[in-house]
Chains A and B, each alone.
Chain A
């Protein structure tokens, strides 16, 4: 029997046929929607007089525009208010399940899907959001799509797609203390580049990924698109199954054993062929910080900011542009860069383990005066679990604001924004110009613990020094 990787198996089992232009018509078993990229798609359906064909396969929540410090509606921003109401109306009219704010299950779509057990191995999953790759942590093939494709999914549950090549990325060895999944993915992107993954699905593997918790795998898969890869996944294993057991949409007791058998069969076959294989050593990875305006512009916290005169061609040009925007000095240590804002949250690092890792290490330490520090749980359920453990109080005692669930300052489609050229130590996923809401705002990406270290010190700091183990 020939050997196949997970991508090939999942693709094959969802193929409807070949389209005239040679693309595949691929069935998408789970479709997730949110308020930003779906209303226009529902509008297109109405225009064409089309129905939602499989409403039971689409699930909605609201995340990007939700204010994190305002619970009651109408929201003070009339545009945001119109968007949540539009989603509610669209779901009501079409029978799509909506995890609304009042449900207690609302949150960032990529936190909610796994939390509800909607994300399972061997599935195809799509959402009008590029961080849909997060769901690949479970051994699903999950990709971000545009709004016309959201329309295609609502109307037909299928997409016109070309298959991807598969690059296996093995990270072997053991991570040093203070090095997290965020550092691993930032390191991978730094080494392979922001468009190194174009045309590829990334299969993450090796000892480091085997040892990762499901939430750590989600952090890494989440940022695949930052490396240009539309899809990133980890083969399902015992940890995947344990995570899913007993979740609301997971297979029930009577279906469980056969589901697990099926899931196991979707994993890449030992000895299967990949289009490319790349190896990294865990020991080479340190706490990592971005200094520029794309996620590959990253260095270890111990390094100095790159000097354009030591670089050539487009790398030199982009470094100059980045340093000018970031107002950072070439050659200076990254450590010690003053920060104005610290943000812990997002679909990358807004899960319970992220919050717990920081809270349990705060030990009475305080946020530096003048730094605005906020913690935004990824979902209402994360928030509730954190509060049951008293994490909210620990954060508040340390001087962090404790907010309601949402995308918050990751992309500032809500009131949480940088002002002017504030510099934010952020656990989110993008450091693009203007990403956090101010056209001159500056973002440095790092792990939640590194964000906390920056918040306490008032400057970029090595978390291993601030929080000695």
Chain B
């Protein structure tokens, strides 16, 4: 099945401030007791969205102004920690289609791209400006243009960074590599046979 060519992502934004937001924060480990990823969306940022009496907190994801958001904005080193794909899976299943941050932890980045979730990096001053736009006018449509490497919000344009290979994978509908990997069965066998260990 051909994958969608992801050339841009558009939608409303939500700002989740903070650096080093780890994958335990994105989805606490106790919700990983599952054998499928179905239903993980409701546990996104669970422990900061609910207090100890299970009441909703002041977290941005609980704010009705951002209930339609599909683009998340955050700080440095987003997705650090565990390699759990449950983290980008829960973001995707909660309706998020892209993440903008200062930079990304490596394993999270790879996992997210494999699911077709663009993760783009923006400098602090520009993140601040974008956060301001999101906070002041939550219904602003934000466009992440992967062709032009630009984020467009109202009249403002920001140039973002993304690893070129990841950008190409998204643009060409090759973000899930499985078919290409499978097509090289003979080459794989050659390398496997050449190894000194089996």
When the two chains form their complex, are residues B33 and A65 in contact, meaning their CB atoms are under 8 A apart?
Answer: yes
Closest chain A CB from B4 CB (angstroms):
16
Closest chain B CB from A415 CB (angstroms):
11
* Contact flag A20-B195 (CB < 8 Å), given A199-B106, A230-B107: no
Q: With contacts defined as CB atoms under 8 Å apart, how many contacts are there between chain A and chain B in the complex?
A: 212
Closest chain B CB from A13 CB (angstroms):
7
- Measured in the bound complex, the distance between the Cα atoms of B106 and A147 in whole Å is 15
Nearest residue in B to A38 (C-beta to C-beta)?
Answer: B35
Given the complex, which residues of B lie within 8 Å of A128, measured CB to CB? 83, 85
- Measured in the bound complex, the distance between the Cα atoms of B18 and A433 in whole Å is 13
- Measured in the bound complex, the distance between the Cα atoms of B85 and A426 in whole Å is 25
Using a CB-CB cutoff of 8 Å, which residues 389-437 of chain A contact chain B? 411-413, 420, 430, 432-435, 437
Looking at the complex, which one of A37, A122, A434 makes contact with B28 (CB distance below 8 Å)? A434
**Contact stretch, chosen from B137-145, B149-157, B177-185:** B177-185
Closest chain A CB from B163 CB (angstroms):
7
Instruction: Say which size band chain B's interface belongs to.
Output: 35 or more
Given the complex, which residues of B lie within 8 Å of A437, measured CB to CB? 29-30
**Contact stretch, chosen from A95-103, A149-157, A349-357, A449-457:** A149-157
Nearest residue in B to A266 (C-beta to C-beta)?
Answer: B196
When the two chains form their complex, are residues A146 and B182 in contact, meaning their CB atoms are under 8 A apart?
Answer: no
When the two chains form their complex, are residues B28 and A39 in contact, meaning their CB atoms are under 8 A apart?
Answer: no
Interface string of A133-166 (1 = CB under 8 A from B): 0000000000111111101100111111010000
Looking at the complex, which one of B36, B77, B103, B192 makes contact with A157 (CB distance below 8 Å)? B192
When the two chains form their complex, are residues A155 and B184 in contact, meaning their CB atoms are under 8 A apart?
Answer: no
* Contact flag A230-B52 (CB < 8 Å), given A146-B83, A155-B182, A434-B24: no
- Measured in the bound complex, the distance between the Cα atoms of B50 and A303 in whole Å is 35
When the two chains form their complex, are residues B85 and A130 in contact, meaning their CB atoms are under 8 A apart?
Answer: no
Using a CB-CB cutoff of 8 Å, which residues 141-198 of chain B contact chain A? 163-166, 168-169, 172, 174, 176-178, 180-182, 184-185, 187-188, 191-192, 194-198
When the two chains form their complex, are residues A25 and B181 in contact, meaning their CB atoms are under 8 A apart?
Answer: yes
- Measured in the bound complex, the distance between the Cα atoms of B18 and A219 in whole Å is 29
When the two chains form their complex, are residues A152 and B83 in contact, meaning their CB atoms are under 8 A apart?
Answer: no
- Measured in the bound complex, the distance between the Cα atoms of B103 and A86 in whole Å is 36
Closest chain A CB from B65 CB (angstroms):
23
When the two chains form their complex, are residues B184 and A16 in contact, meaning their CB atoms are under 8 A apart?
Answer: yes
Q: In this assembly, does B105 line the interface, its C-beta being within 8 Å of a C-beta of chain A?
A: yes
* Contact flag A158-B83 (CB < 8 Å), given A23-B165, A43-B36: no
Using a CB-CB cutoff of 8 Å, which residues 63-86 of chain B contact chain A? 75-77, 80-86
Q: In this assembly, does A272 line the interface, its C-beta being within 8 Å of a C-beta of chain B?
A: no
Q: In this assembly, does B19 line the interface, its C-beta being within 8 Å of a C-beta of chain A?
A: yes
Given the complex, which residues of A lie within 8 Å of B195, measured CB to CB? 13-14, 27, 29
Closest chain A CB from B189 CB (angstroms):
9
Closest chain A CB from B151 CB (angstroms):
21
Interface string of B49-70 (1 = CB under 8 A from A): 0101000000000000000000
- Measured in the bound complex, the distance between the Cα atoms of B106 and A132 in whole Å is 14
When the two chains form their complex, are residues A40 and B180 in contact, meaning their CB atoms are under 8 A apart?
Answer: no
Given the complex, which residues of A lie within 8 Å of B174, measured CB to CB? 20-21
Looking at the complex, which one of B77, B180, B191, B197 makes contact with A228 (CB distance below 8 Å)? B77
- Measured in the bound complex, the distance between the Cα atoms of B102 and A195 in whole Å is 11
When the two chains form their complex, are residues B184 and A17 in contact, meaning their CB atoms are under 8 A apart?
Answer: yes
Given the complex, which residues of A lie within 8 Å of B19, measured CB to CB? 314, 317-318
Q: In this assembly, does B111 line the interface, its C-beta being within 8 Å of a C-beta of chain A?
A: yes
Looking at the complex, which one of A17, A25, A27, A314 makes contact with B192 (CB distance below 8 Å)? A27
**Contact stretch, chosen from A76-84, A275-283, A334-342:** A76-84
Using a CB-CB cutoff of 8 Å, which residues 290-312 of chain A contact chain B? 294
Q: In this assembly, does A387 line the interface, its C-beta being within 8 Å of a C-beta of chain B?
A: no
- Measured in the bound complex, the distance between the Cα atoms of B169 and A41 in whole Å is 21
When the two chains form their complex, are residues A430 and B24 in contact, meaning their CB atoms are under 8 A apart?
Answer: yes
When the two chains form their complex, are residues B25 and A434 in contact, meaning their CB atoms are under 8 A apart?
Answer: yes
Interface string of B21-38 (1 = CB under 8 A from A): 010110011101111110
Can you list 7 A-B contacts with CB-CB less than 8 angstroms, sorted by A residue number?
A13-B194, A158-B188, A162-B165, A195-B80, A317-B19, A432-B25, A432-B81
Beyond A23-B177, A43-B36, A228-B105, 7 additional contacts (C-beta under 8 Å) are A17-B184, A43-B35, A77-B33, A128-B83, A155-B182, A314-B75, A440-B52
